[in-house]
Amino acid sequence: MVTDVPGPAAPESLRKDQRERRARIVRTGLRGLSGGDYDKIKVSDVARDAEVALGTLYRYFSSKEHLFAAVFDEWQDGLRRRLDRHPPAGDTDADRLRSVLHAAIRAFQTQPQFYRLMIVLQTTDDPRAAEVYAPLDTLFADVMRAAVDGVDETVVSTLRAVADQGLRAWISGRLPIEGVYQGVDDTLGLLCPR
């Protein structure tokens, strides 16, 4: 007989002490990922470093992917805040798009483990991780929309695809990082001629 087991409670439904404990677990996971690769991180190590029992961690996160979807959310929030503090440079829409895309690519260049995690989350079959990640899968589109009011959605989707494909090729060793930047610049030149 199979019994449906309820998943972890939504963060907004938690008591203050539970939200703080959950946030501590996420911050610990973020520190762990900042210093290493997703594949090498053990959930038991995150629990230990967050000073919670493994069972407690699983009360908040149903799987490693679910936990690291929340970690990616936290990292992406920090990236968005940094981008918001530094408005895109440039006199033209193309210049501003280039500025924010280069900043986003540079963030992944500096911490490639977060791009590798993004790939894991894009292909997860864990429904709770997918639910957390789905609204986060818009980073490139969101930074472009913030940089240029009324930017054409075709431009957004094309540049997003070029940046994503370039980063995938870079992360797998098939393209130097300069090629990722160049691909974005070349595409901008085609889509937004001066």
Q: Looking at residue 7, what is its pLDDT? A: 67
| Percent of the chain whose pLDDT exceeds 70 | 95
**pLDDT beyond 90 at 185:** yes
One-letter amino acid for residue 131 of the chain: E
Question: Please, what CATH class does the domain formed by 64-191 belong to?
Answer: mainly alpha
Q: Which of 46, 103, 105 is nearest to 71 (CA)?
A: 46
Q: What is the pLDDT of residue 3?
A: 41
pLDDT in tens, 76-128: 999 888 888 888 888 899 999 999 999 999 999 999 999 999 999 999 999 88
Q: For tokens 């930074």, name the residue.
A: 143
pTM listed for this prediction? 0.86
**In the chain, where are the structural domains located?**
64-191
Query: How much of the chain exceeds pLDDT 90, in percent?
Result: 65
Question: Taking Cα atoms as reference points, which of 149, 123, 147, 145 lies closest to residue 134?
Answer: 123
Question: What's the confidence (pLDDT) of residue 28?
Answer: 98
Q: CB–CB of 91/67 below 8 Å?
A: no
pLDDT band at 133 (very low <50, low <70, confident <90, very high): confident
Other Cβ atoms closer than 10 A to 173: 7
Q: pLDDT higher for 57 or 4?
A: 57
